[in-house]
Amino acid sequence: MTKITYREAVRAGLRAALSRDERVFLMGEDVGRYGGAYACSRGLLDEFGPERIRDTPLSESTFVGAGIGAALGGMRPIVEVMTVNFSLLALDQVVNNAATLRHMSGGQFSVPLIVRMATGGGRQLAAQHSHSLEVWYAHIPGIRVLSPATVQDAHDMLLAALDEPDPVFLFEHALLYPQEGDLDESLGPADLEHAALRHRGEHLTIVTYGGSLWKALAAADRLQAEGIGADVIDLRVLRPLDMPTVLESVARTHRALVVDEGWRTGSLAGEISAQIIEGAFYELDAPVSRLCSAEVPMPYAQQLEEAALPQVQSIVAAAKELVTHG
């Protein structure tokens, strides 16, 4: 068991992937000489060389498309897109190619592609670099969408994704990169199917993922001190959603709060809420509650950005309201 940062766990996963399979290569903007926008690939160029650590032009549609082609040709590309907003430039490649080729070829072709990208706000990068657009990708059949929130998942999910025959998209919340946690490299392959219960309580279920997990866990500790017990479920996998785990928890607690850094309208929180109502309506003692980001372009000013995002105190307040008045 080793205590390392989230970015070091990603780097260890990349190194292990490159070492185990000569078909694996990494490409993206600044992944080589610069070592990655978030230092996740630092040192890998010297270790594996420019054929396998490839700096690309600033053209997301081009290098995501090249990754799709390489995957079709038998390689195992890992494509890094600097931030989720830049991935919008490659949506045509994702929606019309990566996600559809197995279906359109009648199962003759597979696209074993991994795309990693940073997501989320909280870094004072304002309206163009603070998006949480995971729900857009979770909407697309034909791909798997992961959101590792722990050091262990950041390492293990990347390696497990290499065994998938279809495209896998990993969303890494940028605030997590410096966060420390324990990594046990002896564990087996990561589970890419199920959510994880990270905290147990009896009064409500808090459902979340990614960067919001740690806020939810801190909120659960505060609530526990006040006599309110909360299940905290880390979704981990956003497509396909593991709703049985969520519904099992709601059947015990009878209340649900969904915390989602995305905007409320059309959010992943809305989808989860709908599935809770469809699957556990008669178990609920109160309407499902949602806590999302303010429906505004993300402000630059720190105090405004903090006000726009779900925070520990707002999760605590929403949970208290649900338990007390729900």
DSSP-derived 3-state class of residue 130: coil
Gap between the Cα atoms of 317 and 223, Å rounded: 9
Q: Residues 250, 277: contact at Cβ < 8 Å?
A: no
Q: Which of 8, 29, 80, 129 is catalytic?
A: 129
How many Å apart are CA 71 and CA 44, to the nearest integer? 21
**Sign of the C-alpha dihedral, residues 269, 272, 278, 284?**
negative
| Secondary structure (DSSP) of 49-101 | -TTTEEE--S-HHHHHHHHHHHHHTT-EEEEEEEEHHHHGGGHHHIIIIITTH
Our answer to whether residue 325 is catalytic in this structure is: no
| Radius of gyration over every alpha carbon of the chain, rounded to an integer in angstroms | 20
CB 223 within 8 A of CB 183: no
Supply the residues annotated as catalytic: 60, 129
